[in-house]
Structure 1
Amino acid sequence: MTALPTEVEALRLRTRTFIREVVIPAEPRPGVYLDEEVRLELQAKAKSAGVFAPHVAKEWGGQGVPIKHWSPIFQEAGYSPIGPAVLNCMAPDEGNMHMLGLIATDEQKQRYLAPLASGDVRSSFAMTEPHPGTGSDPAALATSAIRDGEDWVINGDKRFISGAELSSFFIVMVATESSASQGEGASGRGQSATMFLVDRDTPGIEVGRSIHTVDRTIAGGHPYVHFTDVRVPESAVLGAPGKGFDYAQVRLAPARLTHCMRWLGLARRALDTALDRCEHREVFGDILARQGLAQELIAQSVIDIETADAMITKTGLVLESDQKEANSLSSIAKVYCSEAVYRVIDRAVQLCGGDGVSDELPLIQYLNEVRPFRIYDGATETHKFAISRRASSKRRKEVAAGEPRRDVVGGAN
């Protein structure tokens, strides 16, 4: 871990202590959602301890940590599966706070960011849709908004909208007609996208059936949300009309990375659990930690954790200076980390034997928590598709600029 500024390192240590001494003893049994009253009690304690909302600007009640230093703090929070929710740095709220801080008007910040940052309300990011709408392909966006006088009218269906059952408002991504000033959307299909801030109690919104999944850390489920003639004023537009695809990258690149940070913290917890078991379990006449097969699993997990940590750190540094490069690196980090944390936890399950797959230990629930990450925020295969295309495009440009081709057979003349 790279050296941190004194103030940030002090926050990391406070967070580490708070998670271990306050949060872990309050964890629900594996597979059970965190009770709402318990969450509020723990959040009050987090505020008193000075560890609440590490990523939020101080003017909104947070700790004001710059994004390049989020990872050590988020990893400490993620050491408990409920830690990020207690510290108010859990998805989808964390990503929404970040985007609102960068794009929202002052009035929108007062109305939506302030209560979200304080933990008084929850939010959802409504982008994913039923097939054939947008999922891995954002260009397939089907939910639409059209102007009607001074208002906009939204129609469409969303699905897998994390946290929607408890949300007070939605950030809704919809298709809108392109104008000459806006140009073509990401799809090149004559449409652009616009984001809207829509209150949950707006007429025409229905939170539908929930999609039951194996993870339990995001309260509020993953339900369908239906928008039927939902009328909102011009002031509900987040940023500028037609810029939704650009704003999505502002949100999604850091959100992918913070998922990596939180789950890497949980991978560290899983490895610690396995190490403790291996130090105190004797089989075939020797401590398990001294046996080669166990050492191989432990070593591979350490390598995965340290490699993931380095990738996250590099991407976090780039996020502050180069959004385009950060988008590319965040895809790479997301693919690697989602696979790596699963491997680490899976090895921990194996090292702990029968207890690993039971509720005697929380490891099997950890595996359930991290498995969806290979799909959430873009499936692994979708990111690999984009990573490959970017690599090919970059190389073509280098060759076009005069870089010699490396596949030419034969030596120098």
Structure 2
Amino acid sequence: MDFSLPPPIEEFRRRVRAFVEERILPLEADPASYDAHENIAPALLERLRGEVKAAGLWAPQMPVERGGQGLGIVGMAAAYEEMNRSIFGPVCFNCAAPDDGNMQLLNKVATEAQKERWLQPIVEGKVRSAFAMTEPHPGGGSDPSMMKTRAERKGDRWVISGHKWFITGAGEAQHFILIARTSDDKRKGLTAFLFDKDQPGWEIVRRIPIMGPEEHGGHCELRFDGLEVSDENVLMTVGDGLKATQIRLGPARLTHCMRWTGLSKRAMEIAAAYVRERESFGTTLAGHEGVQWMMGDVAMQIEIGRLLVMKAAWQLDRGDFARKEVSMAKVHVADTLHKAVDTAIQLCGARGYSKDTALEWMYRYARQARLVDGASEVHKMVLARFYMDEGDGFWAWG
């Protein structure tokens, strides 16, 4: 087995790392760099996005003919990890959720006409997007079979009514992918629709307050009351909504893990710099055995997460769905992110709890990791089912 990166990917990774180090990380210490929701301020973001494009690092997950860099999933894993050394990083490269997952879905399954209308503006950074799936009780959350939002055929249009919430990025999105029920069939009852912010028949009820910090556009509650969508804006075919969701969420879960690995490493960088300098009881904190145990454990957990991510990325590049591998990575990396940031705060003491470092930002952000794109408990259920079906084959090589 060769665990080294191919030279072109390694070179791209190094360039991303250098850009983050030189152009993005220094901005975190300036309060003027932040918007009202604790993410990077819009004007600053647009300037940095221009610099990323000029450096040839823009949208690495998209094909070259669409203005991206044409990286596979393994290359994305290496690059995304470097991007999220900064809390501002991924969005500067057009690699942040939900646009990242939406672009990948549209690139895989949309018609050429749909790609020009709905995908290309997102790739170019002209618009933002959102994926509207989750609903309040008794609607669909982790179980899409419970979905209540309906699309009914009327003439040559689909008329949609229903209720969605915690739709990431909806407050600033122009392009939306909406999952709605078109029949009561258990497997083919859902359909994916494309619609524009400016169409009538829907509204943002509120931007839901969260622990924060927030992605651009927040997490919104939406109401649909007569939104009309034509057949040309059905994604895939009628009844393929569950399939579209599965195509999107598998790789999207893994890209979360790629980014969270970078953020975990950054937390430990902050802690390591502090314990090297801070003295206590006659030596630096780094000289204490208890501190070494804490740091060594987190370093090991981060490396385990990276290996899980890379194995899943390798399988996805080979055309496998890698469902159990993605679930394992999602559970482990989400736990590791929280552990890494919590440990870093403990090691930095009051300074870690203050806003003098990015650690308190990361701590609030990290708590969502065990919830988004499937709660950890749901993924463990998935793994249990795989094990019961496969037995010892669960651990097969290749």
Name the TM tier (shorter chain). Answer: over 0.9
Q: In the superposition, relative to structure 1, how do residues 18 and 397 fare at CA in structure 2: closer, same or farther (>3 Å)?
A: closer
Q: Please state if 1:306 is matched with 2:303.
A: yes
For 1:12-411, list aligned pairs within 5 A.
Answer: 12-27=13-28, 29=31, 32-177=38-183, 184-186=185-187, 192-324=189-321, 326-395=322-391
Q: Please tell me the residue identity of whatever aligns with 2:44.
A: V
* Contact 2:38–2:212 (CA under 8 A) maintained in structure 1: no
Q: Across the two proteins, how many residue pairs are aligned to each other?
A: 388
In 1, Cα distance between equivalents of 2:306 and 2:338: 15
Residue type of the alignment partner of 2:14 = L
Task: Measure the CA separation in 2 of the matches of 1:290 and 1:167.
Answer: 50
Q: Distance in 1 between matches of 2:72 and 2:165?
A: 32
- Tell me, what secondary structure is at the counterpart of 2:76? helix
SS where residue 177 of structure 1 aligns? Answer: coil
For residues 393 and 89 of structure 2, the distance between their equivalents in structure 1, rounded to whole angstroms, comes to 45
Q: Does structure 2 conserve the Cα–Cα contact (< 8 Å) formed by 1:82 and 1:217?
A: no
In structure 2, what is the Cα distance between the partners aligned to 1:244 and 1:309?
Answer: 31
Query: Could you say which residue in structure 2 is the equivalent of 1:10?
Result: 11
Once the 2 structures are TM-superposed, how far is the Cα of residue 217 of structure 1 from its aligned partner?
4.6
* Alpha-carbon offset, residue 2 of structure 1: 3.0
| Deviation readout 1:27-80 (Å, 9 max, x if unpaired) | 354872211111111100110111111111111111110112211100000111
* SS of residue matched to 2:159: strand
CA contact (8 A) 1:124 1:171 kept: yes
The whole-number CA distance in structure 2 between the counterparts of 1:392 and 1:215 is 38
The amino acid across from 1:310 in the alignment is: L
Q: Spell out, residue by residue over 1:293-312, the C-alpha distance to the aligned partner (whole angstroms, 9 max, x if none).
A: 10001101110110000000
Cα distance in 2, alignment partners of residues 142 and 323 from structure 1: 31
Say if 1:342 and 1:371, in contact at 8 Å, map to a contact too: yes
Query: 1:157 touches 1:225 (CA, 8 Å); kept in 2?
Result: yes
| Structure 1 vs Structure 2 CA RMSD | 1.6
Superposition TM-score, scaled by structure 2 size: 0.94
- 1:335-376 Cα shifts (integer Å, max 9, x gaps): 111001110111011000110111111101101111101011
Identity %: 38
Q: 2: distance between equivalents of 1:365 and 1:159?
A: 24
Q: Distance in 1 between matches of 2:195 and 2:114?
A: 11
Deviation of 1:235 (Å)? 0.5
The TM-score with structure 1 as length reference comes to 0.91
TM superposition shift of 1:5: 2.2
- Tell me, yes or no, if the aligned pair for 2:305 and 2:329 is still in contact at 8 Å: yes
Deviation at 1:322, TM superposition (A): 4.3
Cα distance in 1 between the residues matched to 2:174 and 2:64: 23
Amino acid at match of 1:144: R
User: Alpha-carbon deviation of 1:391?
Assistant: 1.3
Structure 1: give runs of 5+ residues left out of the alignment: 179-183, 399-413
What's the offset of the Cα at 1:216? 2.2
Question: Residues 305, 397 of structure 1: CA spacing in aligned structure 2 closer, same or farther, 3 A cutoff?
Answer: closer
Once the two structures are TM-superposed, the CA of residue 397 in structure 1 deviates from its matched residue by 9.8
Partner Cα distance (2:391, 2:12) in 1: 42
Q: Hey, what's the Cα distance between the residues in 2 that align with 1:58 and 1:216?
A: 33
Q: Give the aligned residue type for 2:127.
A: V
- SS state of the match for residue 161, structure 1? strand
Shift of 1:396: 10
Q: Distance in 1 between matches of 2:283 and 2:317?
A: 50
- Give the 3 Å change call, closer, same or farther, for CA 397–242 of structure 1 in structure 2: farther
Q: Which residue of structure 2 aligns with residue 407 of structure 1?
A: none
Shift of 1:260: 0.6
Give 1:395 deviation, angstroms. Answer: 2.9
Q: Secondary structure at the match of 2:180?
A: strand
CA drift of 1:321 comes to: 2.9
After superposition, the Cα gap between the structure-2 partners of 1:332 and 1:396, relative to the gap in structure 1 and judged at 3 Å, is closer
List alignment gaps of at least 5 residues for structure 2: none
Q: Which has the larger radius of gyration?
A: 1
Report Cα offsets for 1:277-335 as digits up to 9, x if no partner. Answer: 011011000011111010001101110110000000000011123444x1221111101
